[in-house]
Structure 1
Amino acid sequence: MKEIFEVFGLSENEIKVYRALLRLRKGTKTPIVKESGILSSKVYEVLDRLIQKGLVASFVENKVKNYVPVHPSNIKSLFDERINQIKEQKKEFEKNIKEMFSEKDYFLTDVQLFRGWSGLKSAFNIIVDDLKYKDTYHILGANPGEDLEKAVEFFSRTDKLLFKKNIRMKAIHDTKQRKDAEWYLKIYGNKNWNIKYYETVGPFEIAITNKYALLLILEKNPVGILIKNKRVRDSFLHYFNVVWKIAKK
């Protein structure tokens, strides 16, 4: 629960006091200090901040000030407020990014190198973003590489992003990996996938989108080479179409 409170900016002491009050249900200064473990000199300051944030209420009973936690369901309003703040921050971020990088210089170079699965995640985020609703995504030499478990985990996540955009996929899988491919397709595939098989060499794969060609070397520590160049992309797509004609279902 601590992480939830931190989302909308509660300090560590505010979290301690609020959680202490949730356990006490009602309390004066002394039991709150004892239950929360914060310094007695700080407790009133913290309680005042929690009151301002709508998480705590106070009342006087027998001339002594008592504090009670506002019902946790009221935290929903804080979530809504935080979500609105994030939306505004996102708009501001997108505006600034567009001003900083024009479309023509989005890449300072036409080629980028990505290493490791985290690096490939960044590369795939770029090419998935390049694909619009119902576009076609081409894969030449599709294979799990040298780490089947990690590849399944990674590509199942990426494929979910493609499903959301209703992307059509045409993939040429390595014939030697047919059993693995059929198993994967049975669990994660969908009707928009059109698959053929052709013998390829090594853990090498090429993904082709509208503007990019992504060369993947799927070793234990994979490498991705992302190329933004129309002639290179078109050359790979032409090669894909040639192989597609002779590949087998």
Structure 2
Amino acid sequence: MITTGGLREMSLQRDKITAPGQYPFSIPVLRNFTSLQFHPKVTYLVGENGMGKSTLIEAIAIACGFNAEGGTKNFNFSTVQAHSELHRYIRLIKGPVKPKDGFFLRGESFFNVATNIDEFKDAKLLESYGGKSLHKRSHGEAFWALFMHRFGGKGLYILDEPEAALSPARQMAFLTRMHELIRKDSQFIIATHSPIIMAYPDAVIYELSENGIRPSAYTDTEHYKISHQFINNPQRMLKILLEENG
């Protein structure tokens, strides 16, 4: 999985860790973690809540030089110091070609990114997000403006749950937009719960669980299997769920 640009691999420098029993090193996926190879096009991190997807993707983004709360490498605002110290203990292997564009999206702090853009009062900057304040759009439209206007190609795009504000139709449209950007030499690293978002065929999926991190086929992920079972037989699934709860 070698690419000429973007990220190739990350590894955990265990020799530097002085408190292995403390957060974030106490989370299940890091207990026996050594390294992770990135796909040249798309790398997915999937798994249940609390398994460490956001912690891991946040550390990757900060180690790449992005602001902890999201944005481009030019953003340096901070509202809450809530990120972990994991980025200090990981080593990234990069390709020889430096990406010309990049963005770190965190759904939970995108409001703060939008506020920071408005505070610049820069018409040219605003134009790169569609020419209209992201606060004057719905949450979903703000995300979509980011993908369509700010993401330009030849970039490294690190996304934490991009489906958070997107309808199923927009999630499918996102796959199309992502494909366009990949054809423009872009690389994506995405943490997601969405079976739609994680369906891009030329990718690697890492499933995070109590047992660590393992590569998984799309149809073998828990997210796919549960969604498939529910959509194909909602009456049966609802009967099981509701009867089990009285």
Q: Normalized against structure 2, the TM-score is what?
A: 0.27
Structure with the larger RCO, 1 or 2 (CA within 8 Å, 6+ apart): 2
Structure index of larger Rg: 1
Query: Which structure shows the higher helix fraction?
Result: 1
Q: Normalized against structure 1, the TM-score is what?
A: 0.26
